[in-house]
Amino acid sequence: MLPNLRQDIFQKSHTLFGRVRLYQADCMGVMDHYIEHFGEEGCFDMIFADPPYFLSNGGTTCHAGKRVRVDKGEWDRSQGADLNHAFNLDWLSRCQKLLRPDGTLWVSGTHHIIHSVGFAMQQLGMKILNTVIWQKPNPPPNLSCRYFTHSFETLLWAAKSEKSKHVFNYPVMRQENGGMQMKDIWTIPSREKTTNETGCEPSARHPTQKPIALLERIVRAGSHRNDLIFDPFAGSASTGVAALLNDRQFVGCELEPEYFRLAVSRLQKFEVVCP
């Protein structure tokens, strides 16, 4: 069940309906309140995190066939390697405490942060279960022609500690892979094509929005029906959509008002169609 906390425990606004609780707040403060309430035994069965990649440094990329500047906002600006790693260590330590004893954490990232995340997991005594490669069959081209085209992101899947048990729905994954063991390289398009798939118009997207198909696979692999899924960097709440589509509950945090409103709108639509 969704955590039954006092309504006045959070200073920032939050939205609650059905199987969803979404906070417009900094995830650090929300996680601290949950830790205070539940202790280090945790309350979440699975956490998915897509943290800032610290890419908004004035560079350029290709979007819809055009060269555009990489400027997602202040939240994505690098503060230097040491401070970036300290940030990753801070939020990961809170996630570790909030996991149930058999819960797992998934983190998505590129080379800009994923090595820091993996090292922080080791520093915290977590057990890295798999490194999964999400291969994008339709990546944007490398405009400088000085590097290989960036065509994948890394997913780190970790348990709470080296001795922790964890949920892995092996039969489900095998069935989804045609009766064969599923490997750790997943080829999934990075963008859905229709509004029905995403719950929002193409123009109303978070800049790092993950495909629902990717998140559904993660949710089905590492959790059970009615489990509680948490996303500290919810964005437009694709994790929440995947949770609802697979009969899970969801708690998320999103600080930016624009994306919080988008997340609420999407989750309301999918809560209606997935009662």
> Tell me: the pLDDT tens digits for 130-173?
999 999 998 888 888 898 999 999 999 999 999 999 999 999 99
214, with CB counted inside 10 A (0-12, 13-18, 19+), is buried
User: What pLDDT, on a 0 to 100 scale, did the predictor assign at position 73?
Assistant: 56
- Mean pLDDT, rounded, of the chain: 86
**Higher-confidence position of 14 and 141:** 141
Q: Which residue has the tokens 């929002």?
A: 200
Q: Is residue 123 scored above 60 in pLDDT?
A: yes
pLDDT category of residue 200 using cuts at 50, 70 and 90: very low
User: What pLDDT, on a 0 to 100 scale, did the predictor assign at position 93?
Assistant: 98
The residue among 23, 2, 3, 22 whose CA lies nearest residue 12 is: 23
The residue ranges of every structural domain in the chain are 14-273
DSSP H helices in the chain: 27-38, 81-98, 114-123, 170-176, 195-198, 212-222, 238-245, 257-273
Distances (CA, A) of 146 to 34, 127, 150, 151: 46, 36, 12, 15
Q: What sign does the dihedral 214-28-228-255 (CA atoms) show?
A: negative
User: What pLDDT, on a 0 to 100 scale, did the predictor assign at position 5?
Assistant: 55
pLDDT category of residue 9 using cuts at 50, 70 and 90: very low
Strands 20-23 and 14-17 turn out to be antiparallel
User: What pLDDT, on a 0 to 100 scale, did the predictor assign at position 203?
Assistant: 44
Q: Is residue 8 scored above 60 in pLDDT?
A: no
pLDDT category of residue 99 using cuts at 50, 70 and 90: very high
CATH number assigned to the domain covering 14-273: 3.40.50.150
- Round to whole Å and give the CA distance between 66 and 80: 29
With beta carbons less than 8 A apart as the criterion, state whether 235 and 206 touch. yes
- Round to whole Å and give the CA distance between 190 and 210: 7
User: What pLDDT, on a 0 to 100 scale, did the predictor assign at position 193?
Assistant: 56
Q: Is the pTM of this model over 0.75?
A: yes
**Higher-confidence position of 15 and 47:** 47
